[in-house]
Amino acid sequence: MSDQEIIEQLKQGSEAAFRKLVESHQKLVVNTCFGMVHNREDAEDIAQDVFIEVYRSIQQFRADSKLSTWLYRIAVNRSLNHIRDNKKHKWFQSFEKDEEAKSRQLFQVESSAADNPGYEMENKQRAAILYGAINSLPENQKVAFTLNKYEDLSYQEISEVMEMSVSSVESLLFRAKKNLQKKLYQCYKKKCM
Partner 1 sequence: MKCKAAHSKLIFFLERELPEPEMKAVQEHLAVCPDCALFAEEMKRTLSILETEKVSEVNPYFYTRVKAKLDRPSEIQLSGIRSSVLVRVLQPVAFSIVLILGVYGGVKMGATGAKTGSAFTAEQEMVPYLNEMDVEPLETFLME
Q: How far apart are CA 158 and CA 34, in angstroms?
A: 17
Tell me which residue of 100, 128, 98, 133 sits closest to 112, measured CA to CA: 128
Decide whether 47 or 161 has the Cβ nearer to partner 1: 47
> Under the rule (CB under 8 A), what is the footprint of partner 1?
19, 22-23, 26-27, 30-31, 34, 40, 43-44, 47-49, 51-52, 55, 89, 92, 123, 126-127, 129-130, 149-150, 177-178, 180-181, 184-185, 188, 193
Q: How far apart are CA 116 and CA 132, in angstroms?
A: 23
Decide whether 164 or 184 has the Cβ nearer to partner 1: 184
**Least distance in Å: CB of 140 to partner 1?**
18
**Least distance in Å: CB of 181 to partner 1?**
4
Q: How far apart are CA 183 and CA 130, in angstroms?
A: 9
Decide whether 62 or 191 has the Cβ nearer to partner 1: 191
